[in-house]
Structures are given as structure tokens and as C-alpha cells.
């Protein structure tokens, strides 16, 4: 393989730049020409492709976001869009791709290979940590620490004013950010999409705390929680409790996507970027590079897309025990 290209797609995640850097410098080390594609599949269709060198990725390992930009492309999900993308790659004689992203990115890569035979190896870049085939995804650790910093600060004001705070974190289909930031932040309750949590159970937990003279509480809620968003859940609890206790809602939102990546995310992203490139060099195709039990593994895209990644029962049990 003489020419490869790297791109980022879908939601941005802290550590993506470190991953790009590892792909580019790994390619330079191995004597392979490497190209960057701006704005994911959209840039692939439009030919926004440029050659990268070692200098192209200087001073980016510490930066959040992605220097290659990111986008979601509805056009690429059509046969006509993929045909345009293939023609652009042919112009540059690109033989393989490193895709940094999540489920949508890998779904597109699978369709592309089925139609045009362009091999892709993926690096899991998503703060949600919802991809089967890796213990952690790029950006997850930073997002948890960002959420935790906010929870710690909110805890101060909750305690000062004897309030209950309902804090909504990202995780449309996955409660990993909620469960880990909730445990680390000492939350009294964590609500995640993977487990049905009746409102009555939250009420009982809060009442139990009040009976022990607990004057403030934190409830962490993943955005994909079945019972509703944080505002809806807070209102349901207010109606059931009928108490004068002050309740407030904070939605952390996209602040969790940005910021300087942690050391863990930089190292993970570097391992996965180099692992994806070298996997491509060694004939891997339509697989995601991941780290399981500190070992580099490759999981077929179809499995990363299809198979769920359950939350540890131990973590769920821990929340219950530590809220006593």
C-alpha cells in the first residue's frame, strides 16, 4: 500500500487530533504517502483532499476538536454520493482509508467497500463509549472528566442552598458518561438508557436521603434516559414529592465534546491511530482498531455496528450501594 487517506466523521471528540497525528506520522515512518480528507464523507465527495506531512500535524496532540473538521453526509448514504467519492479517491490513487468516528462512519465505510472495494480500518472516536470492540473510545475519558468538573462545582452550590440538582450529560444510547461521572461525583442516583429506572425509585432514594438529614442531592441523567430529559424527570419528581425543597436542572450539552484531551485520551488515540494504519498495511479491512484488556484488537465493522456494549452490572450496583 503506497497511498492512504485519513478523515474524521460524525461528532467530534477530544483526542481526534492525536489520532490523526499518529496516522500521519506512522505513514511517514513506514514510507507511505498520506492524505487528509476535510469534513469527512462530504469532503470525500467534493474532493477536499490534500497531502499531509509530518509537519502537517505539529503541535496538535493537545488540541480538542479535529483539524480535518467533521460533518455528517446524507449524500454519501446514496449510491450516487458514494460513486462521486470513489471518483475523487481514484484521482489521488488512494488505496485505503483510516476512518476516525463512530457507528455512522463505519456503516458508510462498509457500504463503500461492498461497492468499490476500498478497504477501511476505523479508530473509535466518540465520547459516548458505545462501540463494541474496545474498552474505551477516543474522547470518553475527557468527556467524563469535563462532566465531573461540572458536577463537583454544582455540588458546592447544591450544598450551600439545600437543593436537588438534576444534571443531564450526553449519552443518547449509552449511559457510560453518566455512570462514571455519577460515581466519581458522588451522585445519589444515576439514570441511564440501558436500565429502566422508575420515577418512584428515584423518589424513594431521595426520601431515604432526607430521612438521614441529607440536605442536598445530585441526580445524573443520560440524555437518552427512557423516562425523559432532565427537565421532564425533575417535574415528574416534583409532582410526586410535593415538597418545598428547591430543585434545579443543569444540561451540560456540548461542553462535553470540547476541551484539551486528557493524557489517557491522547495515549489511547495515538495507539488506535497507529494501530489502524498498521492494520491497513497488514491487510485488515472493514475492521475497527480497539483496545481490550490493554491489547490491540480488530473487530469487524458489522459487529461494532450491530452488537450492543452493555454497562457493567458492577458499576450499576456501586451507585446503589454508595448512595446509602
Does 24 belong to an annotated binding site? yes
Does 229 belong to an annotated binding site? no
Residue 20 near residue 6 (C-beta atoms within 8 A): yes
Does 157 belong to an annotated binding site? no
Cα end-to-end span (Å), the chain: 58
Cβ neighbour number for residue 47 with a 10 Å cutoff = 16
The rounded distance, in Å, linking the Cα atoms of 276 and 281 is 9
Catalytic residue at 128?
A: yes
Instruction: Give how far Cα 319 sits from Cα of 136, 251, 291, 324, Å.
Output: 20, 21, 26, 9
Sheet holding 295-300, edge to edge: 49-52, 33-37, 3-8, 96-101, 120-124, 287-292, 295-300
Does 25 belong to an annotated binding site? yes
Residues 200, 205, 211, 215: is their CA dihedral positive or negative?
negative
Residues 140, 146, 149, 155: is their CA dihedral positive or negative?
negative
Kind plus residue range of the DSSP H or E element containing 97: strand 96-101
Q: Which of 12, 128, 141, 265 is catalytic?
A: 128
Does 40 belong to an annotated binding site? no
Does 127 belong to an annotated binding site? yes
Cβ neighbour number for residue 110 with a 10 Å cutoff = 18
Does 248 belong to an annotated binding site? yes
Does 170 belong to an annotated binding site? yes
Does 121 belong to an annotated binding site? no
Does 238 belong to an annotated binding site? no
Phi then psi for residue 118, to 5 deg, are: -85, 115
Does 163 belong to an annotated binding site? yes
What is the maximal distance between C-alpha atoms in the chain?
A: 70
Does 270 belong to an annotated binding site? no
Does 155 belong to an annotated binding site? yes
Does 271 belong to an annotated binding site? no
DSSP-assigned letter for residue 170: S
DSSP-assigned letter for residue 192: -
Does 10 belong to an annotated binding site? no
Nearest to 227 by CA among 254, 202, 250: 202
Does 212 belong to an annotated binding site? yes
Binding-site entries for substrate? 126-128, 163, 170-172, 223, 248, 254-257
Binding-site entries for Mg(2+)? 103
Binding-site entries for ATP? 11, 72-73, 102-105
Binding-site entries for ADP? 21-25, 155, 186-188, 212, 214-216
Binding-site entries? 11, 21-25, 72-73, 102-105, 126-128, 155, 163, 170-172, 186-188, 212, 214-216, 223, 248, 254-257
Catalytic residue ranges: 128
Amino acid at each position: 500500500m503506497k497511498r492512504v487517506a485519513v478523515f474524521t466523521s460524525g461528532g467530534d471528540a477530544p483526542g481526534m487530533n492525536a489520532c490523526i497525528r499518529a496516522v500521519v506520522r506512522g505513514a511517514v515512518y513506514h514510507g507511505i504517502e498520506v492524505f487528509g480528507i476535510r469534513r469527512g464523507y462530504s469532503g470525500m465527495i467534493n474532493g477536499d483532499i490534500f497531502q499531509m506531512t509530518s509537519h502537517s500535524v505539529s503541535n496538535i496532540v493537545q488540541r480538542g476538536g479535529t483539524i480535518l473538521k467533521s460533518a455528517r453526509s446524507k449524500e454519501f448514504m446514496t449510491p450516487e454520493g458514494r460513486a462521486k467519492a470513489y471518483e475523487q479517491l481514484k484521482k489521488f490513487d488512494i488505496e485505503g482509508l483510516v476512518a476516525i468516528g463512530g457507528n455512522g462512519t463505519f456503516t458508510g465505510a462498509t457500504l463503500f467497500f461492498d461497492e468499490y472495494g476500498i478497504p477501511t480500518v476505523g479508530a473509535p472516536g466518540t465520547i459516548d463509549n458505545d462501540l463494541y470492540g474496545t474498552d474505551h473510545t477516543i474522547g470518553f475519558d475527557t468527556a467524563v472528566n469535563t462532566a465531573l468538573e461540572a458536577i463537583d462545582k454544582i455540588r458546592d452550590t447544591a450544598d450551600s442552598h439545600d437543593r436537588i440538582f438534576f444534571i443531564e450529560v450526553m449519552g443518547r444510547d449509552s449511559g457510560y458518561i453518566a455512570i462514571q461521572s455519577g460515581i466519581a461525583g458522588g451522585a445519589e442516583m444515576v439514570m441511564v438508557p440501558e436500565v429502566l429506572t422508575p420515577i418512584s425509585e428515584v423518589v424513594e432514594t431521595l426520601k431515604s436521603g432526607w430521612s438521614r438529614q441529607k440536605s442536598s442531592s445530585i441526580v445524573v441523567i443520560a440524555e437518552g434516559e427512557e423516562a425523559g430529559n432532565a427537565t421532564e424527570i425533575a417535574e415528574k419528581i416534583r409532582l410526586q414529592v410535593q415538597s418545598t425543597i428547591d430543585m434545579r436542572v443543569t444540561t451540560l450539552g456540548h461542553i462535553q465534546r470540547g476541551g484539551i484531551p486528557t493524557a489517557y485520551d491522547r495515549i489511547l488515540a495515538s495507539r488506535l491511530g497507529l494501530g489502524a494504519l498498521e492494520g491497513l498495511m497488514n491487510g485488515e479491512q472493514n475492521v475497527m482498531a480497539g483496545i481490550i484488556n490493554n491489547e490491540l484488537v480488530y473487530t469487524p465493522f458489522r459487529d461494532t455496528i450491530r452488537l450492543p456494549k452493555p454497562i457493567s452490572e458492577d458499576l450499576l450496583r456501586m451507585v446503589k450501594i454508595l448512595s446509602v
